[in-house]
């Protein structure tokens, strides 16, 4: 029995020694990829929700009371400046114009007759002046009736696109009733809100009346082919949101953009001499970001970092790292605090070049 116990003890010792040796061989065989933070000039893209407006968007309203007699265009149609769009029944105004024309003609004849008599000293100059005044008044009345008649025709004040109709043929319109809207979308005004801190950064960056170029991300996640420029900043901040509206102007020669669309404004913000690391080198604990730093003894130590800006695949680090640090790039889940590792060092620019992000 004693011999059996001695034999079993020897077996356990041999097995334990073999396992420890195998574990050491496994640790030696596993090699981790390590890199360093890099200090560089780059740029981030900030995205702002925006609203798209036609440079001119007006309401077309009835100027006189009457029935809608003619519609010469269709909804969504492109129209030219001066083109006749709608006509409100003009018969009353045509009759009034004819009456005014007749009265003006009578006044003209009376004036001519009085002038001949005055030239022959048959009537006084006062009578001639009265006749002239009556004639001028009749001409003014005629001009007024002609203006009223023109009000029955609604024409396009500029090139644009007709929106949907709010009335139909034969509708009885009162003065001021909305008929439709007209949009000039040759150029578009795009509004987006910027925070106070970003506004101050913008004013420091854009000087000498230069204009910031921006891009428009449309609702289908495609970039609008024509860049825009920020031309206007409104006067006041919104006290509730702390934002101030910016307005960018975009050319729209193909008239792809329409009034009322939505999208996102993309603004490239240059960053000078900032520390950058790959996003995959970080991990989160309770909404805080950490990296594993490899010390002089090749042991990994957990360190908290702050992120000041985010790009695709990269983080711009605010605090926590310097370019002299070595950080674990891969295998973060395979190590824990204090583990001693073997690693292969890869130059940070070589790491970044294999990421999807294009950096300047």
Fold of 46-54+184-270: Elongation Factor Tu (Ef-tu); domain 3 (2.40.30)
Q: Tell me if residue 267 falls in helix, strand or coil.
A: strand
How many other C-beta atoms can be found within 10 angstroms of the C-beta atom of residue 61? 16
- The single-letter DSSP state of residue 157 is S
CB 179 within 8 A of CB 167: yes
Q: How far apart are CA 209 and CA 231, in angstroms?
A: 10
Q: Which of 153, 189, 155 shows the shortest CA–CA distance to 52?
A: 189
Q: Where are the strands (E) in 72-140, listed by range?
A: 78-79, 84-88
Q: Which CATH number among 2.40.420.20, 2.40.50.140, 1.10.10.2160, 2.60.120.620 corresponds to the domain 31-42+272-353? A: 2.40.420.20
Calculate the alpha carbon distances from 281 to 123, 296, 315, 350 in Å. Answer: 108, 19, 10, 15
- The single-letter DSSP state of residue 206 is S
Residue 274 exposure: Cα atoms within 13 Å on the Cβ side: 23
Tens digit of pLDDT at every position of the chain (360 positions): 444 444 445 444 444 444 444 444 344 347 899 999 999 988 888 999 999 999 999 999 998 888 898 999 999 999 999 999 998 876 667 667 677 787 878 888 888 888 888 787 877 888 878 888 888 887 887 777 777 767 788 999 999 999 999 999 989 888 899 999 999 999 999 999 999 988 998 888 887 667 889 999 999 999 999 999 999 999 999 988 999 999 999 999 999 999 999 999 999 888 889 999 999 999 999 889 999 999 999 999 999 999 988 888 899 999 999 999 999 998 898 999 999 999 999 999 888 888 754 444
For domain 91-151, give the CATH number: 1.10.287.470
């Amino acid at each position: 029995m004693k011999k059996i116990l001695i034999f079993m003890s020897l077996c356990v010792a041999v097995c334990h020694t073999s396992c420890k040796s195998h574990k050491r061989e496994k640790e030696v065989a596993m090699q981790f990829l390590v890199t360093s933070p890099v200090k560089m000039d780059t740029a981030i893209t900030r995205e702002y929700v925006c609203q798209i407006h036609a440079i001119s968007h007006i309401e077309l309203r009835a100027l006189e009371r009457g029935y809608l007699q003619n519609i010469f265009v269709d909804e969504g149609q492109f129209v030219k400046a001066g083109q006749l769009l709608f006509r409100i029944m003009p018969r009353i105004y045509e009759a009034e114009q004819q009456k005014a024309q007749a009265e003006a003609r009578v006044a003209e004849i009376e004036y001519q007759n009085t002038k001949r008599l005055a030239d022959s000293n048959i009537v006084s100059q006062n009578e001639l002046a009265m006749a002239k005044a009556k004639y001028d008044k009749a001409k003014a009345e005629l001009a007024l009736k002609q203006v009223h008649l023109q009000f029955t025709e609604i024409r396009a004040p500029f090139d644009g696109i007709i929106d949907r109709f709010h009335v139909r043929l034969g509708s009885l319109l009162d003065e001021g009733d909305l008929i439709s809207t007209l949009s000039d979308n040759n150029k578009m005004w795009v509004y987006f809100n910027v925070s106070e801190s970003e506004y101050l950064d913008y004013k420091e960056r854009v000087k000498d009346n230069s204009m910031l170029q921006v891009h428009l991300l449309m609702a289908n996640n495609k970039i609008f082919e024509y860049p825009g420029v920020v031309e206007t900043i409104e006067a006041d901040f919104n006290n509730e949101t702390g934002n101030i509206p910016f307005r960018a102007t975009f050319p729209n020669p193909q008239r792809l953009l329409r009034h009322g669309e939505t999208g996102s404004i993309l603004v490239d913000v240059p960053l000078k001499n900032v520390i950058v690391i790959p996003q995959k080198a970080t991990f989160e604990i309770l909404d805080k970001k950490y990296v594993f730093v490899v010390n002089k003894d090749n042991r990994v130590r957990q360190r908290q970092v702050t992120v000041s800006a985010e790009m695709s695949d990269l983080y711009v680090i605010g605090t926590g790292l310097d370019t002299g640090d070595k950080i674990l790039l891969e295998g973060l889940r395979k190590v824990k605090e204090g583990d001693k590792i073997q690693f292969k060092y890869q130059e940070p620019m070589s790491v970044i070049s294999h990421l999807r992000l294009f950096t300047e």
